[in-house]
Copies of this chain bind each other. A is one copy, B any other.
Amino acid sequence: MLNRRIVVAALLLAGLSSWSLGALAQSDPLPSWNDGKAKQAIIDFVAKVTRDGGADFVKPAERIATFDNDGTLWAEQPVYFQLQFAFDEVKRLAAQNPDWKAKEPFRSVLARDLKGLAASGEKGLLQIMAATHTGMTTDQFAATVANWLASARHPTKQRPYTEMVYQPQLELLTYLRANGFKTFIVSGGGVEFMRVFAEKAYGIPPEQVVGSTGVVKFRIGGDGRPELFKDSKVEFVDDGPGKPVGINRAIGRRPILAFGNSDGDLQMLQYAAAGPGARLALIIHHTDAEREWAYDRTSKIGKLDKALDEAAAKGWTVVDMKADWKTVFPASK
């Protein structure tokens, strides 16, 4: 402990000399953001809630920032990546399930029959999710996701999914944390799925990931050791009105900053924006067909319609991806 404190003190003092030369003021904490209204709104907000003694000062403990994941921290086209994982798992597990070749909805997935899959509807999707996400322990599921992430590539961008994260958002997360914010994911995605990569990809630890959940049961396994078994029943859908509910349950404080990109984030944004004091509600508008994708009001994935209207009505900050982001994805590793 003593040694560590000496090192910390030395580093701080070393840092001070360069800062006093003005290095701090010159460095841009958000280099992948173009100058503009969105970037300025973020910087102004952070400045005012951290200005000790200022009218809008917020104690560090209350600097809660919540981020949607799909379409906000990483991409979500052509389908949610967790759904792509489920499809890939159906293919991987087909050898052990020979009946799937003739059994919907699995047949459609294996035959890449999108029409057949669509015809199976929500019930079909739930069957696919159950077959690939449940009937195993939480540890087994996490290992499966980790294996998939290590080898899977995005169908059109040909990148690992963990490189489909948005560089400007990585900078924003770091910037917020450097200013005493606690950053959370609040996503409709499965919490057990996201936790596998959230810490490495975003610096967000498992206990700050809020998401949809299936029923999990505690039991003593065959080896006499306790384990958590993933049941096939959906427990909680952390989407739309579920987001403020999930925030309340898991965080217990109203965020002062919330960032989303679709109508599924509307209630989270309303909830964050309606609290007392300074608030920042942000929406990414996917406007960049070249570097990413362009979609909004009529998209099946990440539909942004009501929330876009409400953003205009309430003065929320809309980030125009094409105009506001200098870079979209990080450099390949």
On chain B, the residues within 8 Å of A13 by CB distance are 9
Q: Does A313 count as interface, using CB distance less than 8 angstroms?
A: no
Q: Pick the contact of A228 from B205, B225, B248 — CB < 8 Å?
A: B248
Complex Cα spacing A239 to B190, Å: 23
Closest to A182 in B: B207
0/1 string, A1-40, CB within 8 A of B gives 1: 1100110110011011001000010000000000000000
Complex Cα spacing A274 to B225, Å: 7
Contacts A16-B6, A207-B182 hold; do A216 and B249 have CB atoms under 8 A apart? yes
Smallest distance from the beta carbon of A56 to chain B beta carbons, Å?
A: 16
Could you tell me if A248 and B6 are in contact, using CB atoms closer than 8 angstroms?
no
Q: Which of A264-316 contact B (CB under 8 A)?
A: 267, 270-271, 274
Q: Report which residue of A12, A61, A208 has the largest number of chain B beta carbons within 10 angstroms of its beta carbon.
A: A12
Q: Pick the contact of A267 from B16, B192, B226, B241 — CB < 8 Å?
A: B226
Which of A73-81, A113-121, A250-258 makes up part of the contact surface? A250-258
Q: Does A195 count as interface, using CB distance less than 8 angstroms?
A: yes
Could you tell me if A9 and B16 are in contact, using CB atoms closer than 8 angstroms?
yes
Q: Does A159 count as interface, using CB distance less than 8 angstroms?
A: no
Q: Does A138 count as interface, using CB distance less than 8 angstroms?
A: yes
Tally of this chain's copies: 2
0/1 string, A165-186, CB within 8 A of B gives 1: 0000000000000010010000
On chain B, the residues within 8 Å of A2 by CB distance are 16, 19, 24
Could you tell me if B245 and A218 are in contact, using CB atoms closer than 8 angstroms?
yes
Q: Does A217 count as interface, using CB distance less than 8 angstroms?
A: yes
Closest to A5 in B: B12
Could you tell me if A251 and B217 are in contact, using CB atoms closer than 8 angstroms?
no
Smallest distance from the beta carbon of A25 to chain B beta carbons, Å?
A: 9
Could you tell me if B207 and A253 are in contact, using CB atoms closer than 8 angstroms?
yes
Could you tell me if B6 and A191 are in contact, using CB atoms closer than 8 angstroms?
no
Q: Does A50 count as interface, using CB distance less than 8 angstroms?
A: yes
Closest to A216 in B: B245
Could you tell me if B12 and A226 are in contact, using CB atoms closer than 8 angstroms?
no
Complex Cα spacing A220 to B13, Å: 51
Complex Cα spacing A249 to B231, Å: 14
Contacts A12-B12, A218-B271, A271-B218 hold; do A250 and B207 have CB atoms under 8 A apart? yes
Complex Cα spacing A259 to B205, Å: 23
In order of increasing CB-CB distance, the 6 nearest A-B pairs are A206-B252, A9-B12, A218-B241, A207-B251, A218-B244, A226-B270
Further contacts, 8 of them, CB under 8 A, given A182-B207, A191-B252, A228-B244: A6-B16, A9-B9, A9-B16, A61-B205, A205-B253, A217-B245, A218-B244, A218-B267
Q: CB within 8 Å of B: which residues of A? A: 1-2, 5-6, 8-9, 12-13, 15-16, 19, 24, 50, 61, 64, 138, 179, 182, 191-192, 195, 199, 205-209, 213, 216-220, 225-226, 228, 241-245, 248-253, 267, 270-271, 274
Q: Could you jot down 5 A-B contacts, CB within 8 Å?
A: A1-B24, A2-B24, A207-B253, A226-B274, A228-B248
